[in-house]
Amino acid sequence: MNKDINLAVLIDGDNIPSAHVKEMMEEIAKYGNPTIKRIYGDWTKPNLSKWKSMLLENALTPIQQYAYTTGKNATDSAMIIDAMDILYSGKVSGFCLVSSDSDFTRLATRLREAGMLVMGIGEKKTPEPFIVACDRFIYIEILKKNSEKDTATDKSSGTKKNDDEKITAKIIRLIGTTISDCADEDGWAFLGDVGSLLQKKQPNFDSRNFGFQKLTPMIQAINKFEVEQREQKGSRHKLIYVRNKD
């Protein structure tokens, strides 16, 4: 992704925990320049008190939205209205919607229809419709910096000693078919193309969900794919290609 594009970051303060906002903003910066950063909620309520100390540290603009009636979330409507205003202002090329609420599914779809890049960030409880409506969806859980060293990989089974997901047969098939889709006549596919297509097929696909910082070690751990490094003319960096063993 183009890291020079301007992004609007809109956070549903009522629906997102504040504990890892720093890691979240660092992750967003990998995909673009967050020029607009707003967080929505009823700041008169005590449940948002933890966010208040982080607003200045992360240059977040709080948007006050009173709850008009019990049981209804007015924050959603405020975010949606602001998103459309920002869209028509022409100041950004993408949006990052930070919420675990499926109510933003239609908004994500509408922004993509307008040619915007749409990222989603939320917890693993986020409903599938909102996830697939985004170009990319990142779980907050994988952004938590784990200082413990007890996350050793059991590469033979694809399982983890912590809460990382298991590499299932479905995931292996997804990777295998994607490699085939990108492959040349000899079956080799450039890993960068494979990663991009995986993201399009499954927006929440992320090697970090399975305990691997990069896609390459994850593919190597599965042991059903060949990995080859190739020299790149005029560069010290090597290109990585992958192929199905079968």
pLDDT in tens, the chain (246 residues): 556 799 999 999 888 888 778 889 889 998 999 999 999 988 887 777 778 878 888 888 988 877 655 444 567 888 999 999 999 999 999 999 999 989 899 999 999 999 999 999 999 999 999 999 999 999 998 887 542 333 444 444 454 445 578 899 999 999 999 999 999 999 999 999 999 999 899 999 999 888 898 999 999 999 899 999 988 777 778 899 999 987
Amino acid making up residue 3: K
Residue 69: DSSP 8-state: S
| CATH number for the domain formed by residue range(s) 153-244 | 3.30.420.610
- Residue ranges of domains in the chain: 6-143, 153-244
Helix orientation angle between 191-201 and 169-182, rounded to the nearest 10 degrees:
120
Name the CATH topology of 6-143. Rossmann fold (3.40.50)
Spatial CB neighbours of 144, under 8 Å, sequence gap ≥ 6? 19, 20, 23
